[in-house]
Amino acid sequence: MTGRGADGPGTDTSTGAGTDTGAGIGTAVGPDTGLDYVLPLRWEEDSGLDELTAYLRGLARHARIIVVDGSPGELFDRHARRWRGLAVHLRPDGDLGFANGKVSGVVTGLRRATAEHVVIADDDVRYDAAGLARVRALLEEADLVRPQNHFDPLPWHARWDTARTLLNRGLGADYPGTFGVRRSTFVRMGGYDGNVLFENLELIRTVRACGGREARPLDLHVRRLPPEAGRFWSQRVRQAYDDLAQPARMAFFLAVLPGLAAALRRRRHRAVLTGAGLAVGLAEAGRRRAGGRRVFPFSASLFAPVWILERAVCSWLALAARLTRGGVPYAGRRLRVAAHSVRWIKRHRRPGTDPGADPDPDPAPNRGTDRDDRRSPDAGLPRTGAARAGTVSSAGRVRLRPGTRPSCATHRRTA
């Protein structure tokens, strides 16, 4: 997820961690709609506070809001005053030391959630009542719901980045800044690994590895505020690094520059133009899917060749960062792993917790991870009073021992 908080420095888990303001743990804030809304954020400045507060006021009529706030102390206190009575407002729990602070915020929020149906959203996502109702309805059958984000308003750099969305739609589905998730599924999974860069994909793959069902409604369009142009540029290499978790995709983008250079050297300009035309055509196919023309302008399709060229350049920079620097910087640390494969997640889940799985007493080495990832902190949903590690309390929250992997304790439904 890539909102203001998601792509900023990691969530603060050292000062005032786990402190609720405005409402205590489990306090009902907002109507009893059967839907909780978890909003992790970390801000360094408050220019968007009035706009976000207005959004939360409208949102509070439709969901119970949990804001997990890793902002510095002065900003945190200001948020607490503005959101008192509007949301459960708290810091990330101190026992979560994930390198990707966004995951600490998500897990903290899911610990406090009381509804079975939960929306997780970046601070730049803007749902309307119909969108929330649709997510909740889909969660009656699915374990994970992937809505379709769209930028509004649409400055030039948002149209540029929308080309990526359209290409993803043309080939399957996009990766949004928001999900709907069943809390029982999240508890059964034991959370997900927070020492990866592409935490969205890690969550999706963990649900799949645990036999969950995923809904991808391409026509569920959820508005998202575009980043500032400077922030857009700062995200280019880091977003390209995400493709290391999708080897075929990464290989394609790494091949673009050599192929383009060879074509230009041989003066095959028609081939270059044909490739650009195919990119526009694929993006336009994605735009026309599932009512996309209502929210995606045609001009965004024209940016597809530009975006592919950008990703081709940044993919080489991302690969260089992986090979020479051990990853990309994130919140004062360096993340090596973009996301784990479904096979890796299945192999490294806790042995014996799934009645339908064969225990693996000698798991394979932790390939493709850095040292921090091998000793992941508590990935589960903890802190339930007297509940001991590895047990489920009366509140239904699982407490896992530090260093454990997602457990996939039982299969409720199949994908």
Query: Higher-confidence residue: 97 or 247?
Result: 247
Query: Could you tell me if residue 57 is inside a domain?
Result: no
pLDDT at position 30: 64
Question: Is the distance from CB of 57 to CB of 133 less than 8 angstroms?
Answer: no
For residues 20 and 311, the model is more confident at 311
Mean pLDDT, residues 375-392: 35
pTM of this structure: 0.82
Domain count for the chain, please give it: 1
Q: Would you state the pLDDT for residue 32?
A: 77
Which alpha helices (H) appear in 123-268, and where do they start and end?
A: 129-138, 156-171, 183-189, 199-209, 229-234, 236-241, 247-265
CB 100 within 8 A of CB 195: yes
278 within a domain of the structure (yes/no):
yes
Using CB atoms within 10 Å of the CB of residue 303, give its burial: 0 to 12 exposed, 13 to 18 middle, 19+ buried: buried
The pLDDT assigned to 409 comes to: 53
Please check whether residue 324 lies inside any domain of the structure.
yes
Task: Flag whether 250 is in a domain.
Answer: yes
Is the pLDDT confidence value at 331 over 60? yes
Phi, psi of 363 (to 5 degrees): -65, 155
Read off the pLDDT of residues 157-211 as tens digits, 9 standing for 90 and up. Answer: 999 999 999 999 999 999 999 999 999 999 999 999 999 999 999 999 999 999 9
23 domain-assigned = no
Decide if 395 is inside a domain: no
Residue 354 lies in a domain: no
Q: How far is CA 398 from CA 11, 112, 329, 401, in A?
A: 23, 12, 32, 10
Residue 383 pLDDT exceeds 70: no
Question: For residues 286 and 218, is the Cβ–Cβ distance under 8 A?
Answer: no
Q: Which string of DSSP letters, residue by residue, matches 174-192?
A: ---SEEEEEHHHHHHHT--
Classify residue 238: in a domain, yes or no.
yes
Domain span holding position 304: 233-333
Sign, Cα dihedral of 110, 112, 116, 117: negative
